[in-house]
């Protein structure tokens, strides 16, 4: 359903936004907290520089606000509406969810942010594939 070539692929898996051939992140596991936002300088397949300008990813903080709200809404619906908890318990559930998913929220925001500026390049990707098959 979600495959290479779709923007969602790069957003969900943190793949290079241009060629979708590799992960932007040095560390695969987002819960290795020391490396959660450590990113390669450029893509080893298509040479795209991820940090287009200094402190490019600061902008992803705006996105992370929205992503955080989305997670909070889900936590609220699950606890208050589905599990019929008290308001106070729902509030605690939101806080716990936001803390527990922080690394994922940070990465998702960065993936969305970079995908606002770069798109999958079909020609580039097929050129790389050709080169690798030669
Ligand atoms: Zn690439």
Pairwise CA distance, residues 32 & 125, whole Å: 30
Pairwise CA distance, residues 22 & 11, whole Å: 12
Contact 15, 121 (CB under 8 A): no
Q: What is the tens place of the pLDDT at every residue in 75-110?
A: 999 999 999 999 999 999 999 999 999 999 999 999
Query: For position 129, what pLDDT does the model report?
Result: 80
Compute the distance from residue 21 Cα to the ligand 1 centre, in Å.
6
User: How far is CA 1 from each of CA 8, 55, 130, 132, rounded to the nearest angstrom?
Assistant: 10, 34, 24, 25
Compute the distance from residue 32 Cα to the ligand 1 centre, in Å.
23
Among 23, 53, 54, 52, which residue's Cα sits nearest to residue 39? 23
Query: For position 72, what pLDDT does the model report?
Result: 98
pLDDT at 134 over 80: no
The dihedral over CA atoms of 62, 64, 65, 69, expressed in degrees to the nearest 10, equals 150
Compute the distance from residue 35 Cα to the ligand 1 centre, in Å.
20
Q: Strand, coil or helix: what is 39? A: strand
Q: Determine the average pLDDT of the residues in 41-69.
A: 94
Q: What is the tens place of the pLDDT at every residue in 7-28?
A: 999 999 999 999 999 999 999 9
Compute the distance from residue 75 Cα to the ligand 1 centre, in Å.
34
Q: How far is CA 30 from the centre of its chain?
A: 10
Query: For position 43, what pLDDT does the model report?
Result: 95
pTM (2 d.p.): 0.91
Q: What is the tens place of the pLDDT at every residue in 46-59?
A: 999 999 998 999 99
Pairwise CA distance, residues 116 & 17, whole Å: 9
Compute the distance from residue 62 Cα to the ligand 1 centre, in Å.
25
Compute the distance from residue 72 Cα to the ligand 1 centre, in Å.
32
């Amino acid at each position: 359903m979600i495959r290479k070539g779709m923007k969602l692929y790069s957003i969900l898996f943190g793949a290079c936004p241009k060629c979708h051939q590799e992960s932007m992140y040095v560390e695969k596991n987002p819960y290795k907290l020391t490396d959660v936002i450590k990113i390669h300088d450029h893509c080893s397949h298509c040479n795209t520089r991820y940090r287009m300008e200094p402190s490019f990813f600061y902008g992803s903080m705006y996105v992370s606000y929205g992503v955080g709200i989305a997670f909070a809404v889900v936590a609220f619906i699950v606890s208050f509406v589905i599990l019929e908890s008290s308001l106070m318990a729902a509030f605690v559930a939101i806080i716990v969810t936001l803390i527990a998913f922080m690394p994922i929220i940070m990465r998702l925001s960065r993936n969305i942010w970079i995908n606002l500026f770069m798109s999958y390049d079909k020609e580039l990707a097929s050129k790389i594939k050709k080169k690798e098959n030669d």
